[in-house]
Structure 1
Amino acid sequence: MTRPARDDRGQAAVEYAGVLALLLFVALAAIQLGLVAYTAQQAGTASRAAARVASQKGGADRYVESGKAAMSDWLADEAVISEAPGGSFDEVKVTVRVKVPALLPVFDFGDATRSTTMRCD
């Protein structure tokens, strides 16, 4: 009695490779979402620190440095910190824009932007 010939050799390896690629993509997507949240948090921290310094007397020229110092170095290099016009004379509004890093070219979340308004001392 002989067994019939089967052509499904290697099927498990092919299925494993397909599932592994899918799991890798899902893991990278989860890490990317974490990077988006972290970048937004860092932009908020920088805007609060920069607005705090800009609201003090003599701090108008040091707010950019203090905002970048409050961030992680690898995000601070790409950060754009500016004082937004339109506030009243006793307030200062600082806006921070940080590019969200992308792990894969598929992911492009643009910039994380946060603004903080503080009363001047």
Structure 2
Amino acid sequence: MPARRGGRDDRGQVAIEFVGTVPLILLLVAAVWECVLIGYAFSLAGNAADEAARAGAVHGPAACQAAAEEHIGAAWGPKAVCVQSGDIIRARVTLGVPVFFPGLDFGEIDGTGGAALEKEAE
């Protein structure tokens, strides 16, 4: 039988530390997930703007909105605006960022793209 030290022992210390650190770890995971959502929103907005500009260059500015919304789900709240300036179609896609915690607001993320008009050969 091992000799006992006088005073308190440290049984249960690991359980107490585990209970104390789990909420911090979960909070960190949630913060990382929100950062992933924001980065993914930037990627989606840029891709949708490029696709919208390309569709606008080939089929006219009317096809721009449909092309932007084709690649993005409704949860992102996409809004696309296409403008023709000279021989270039410029598209701007705005997305709302879904938040992991209700009550947070990160605003909107914009993506821009442009493409040269494509004219049919006569």
Q: Which bin holds the TM-score, normalised by the shorter protein?
A: 0.7 to 0.9
- Of the three residues 89, 94, 101, the one matched with 1:97 is 94
Conserved in 1, the CA contact under 8 Å of 2:72 and 2:78? Answer: no
Name the SS for the 2:20 alignment partner: helix
2:64 aligns with 63
Do the aligned residues in 1 keep the contact of 2:50 with 2:113 (CA within 8 Å)? yes
The TM-score, its normalising length taken from structure 2, stands at 0.77
Name the TM-score, length of structure 1 as normaliser.
Answer: 0.77
1:50-90 Cα distance to aligned partner (Å, 9 max, x none) = 1011112x422121111111224533xx1111124xx6311
Q: Distance in 1 between matches of 2:15 and 2:38?
A: 35
The 8 Å contact of residues 42 and 72 in structure 1, kept in 2 or not, is answered as no
Instruction: Give the secondary-structure state (helix, strand or coil) at the position aligned to 1:95.
Output: strand
Q: 1:108 and 1:48, CA in 2 relative to 1: closer, same or farther beyond 3 A?
A: same
Q: Is the 1:45–1:71 Cα contact (8 Å) retained in structure 2?
A: no
Q: What whole-Å deviation, never above 9, does each CA across 1:81-104 have from its counterpart, x for those lacking one? A: 1124xx631111110000111101
- Secondary structure class of the residue paired with 2:45: helix
RMSD of aligned alpha carbons = 2.6
Once residues 83 and 108 of structure 1 are traced to their aligned partners in structure 2, the CA distance between those partners, rounded to angstroms, is 26
Aligned ranges 1:45-56 → 2 under 5 Å: 45-56=47-58
In 2: Cα distance, 1:51 partner to 1:88 partner: 12
1:112 aligns with 2:109: yes
Q: One-letter code of the match for 1:33?
A: C
Residue correspondences, number: 115
Q: Matched residues in 2 for 1:80 and 1:88: separation?
A: 20
The residue that corresponds to 1:30 in the other structure is 32
Unaligned runs of 5+ in 1: none
Distance 2:11 2:101 in 1: 34
After TM superposition, which residue ranges in structure 1, 4 or more long, deviate above 3 angstroms? 3-6, 8-15, 105-108
Distance in 1, matches of 2:66 and 2:24, equals: 42
Larger-Rg structure: 2
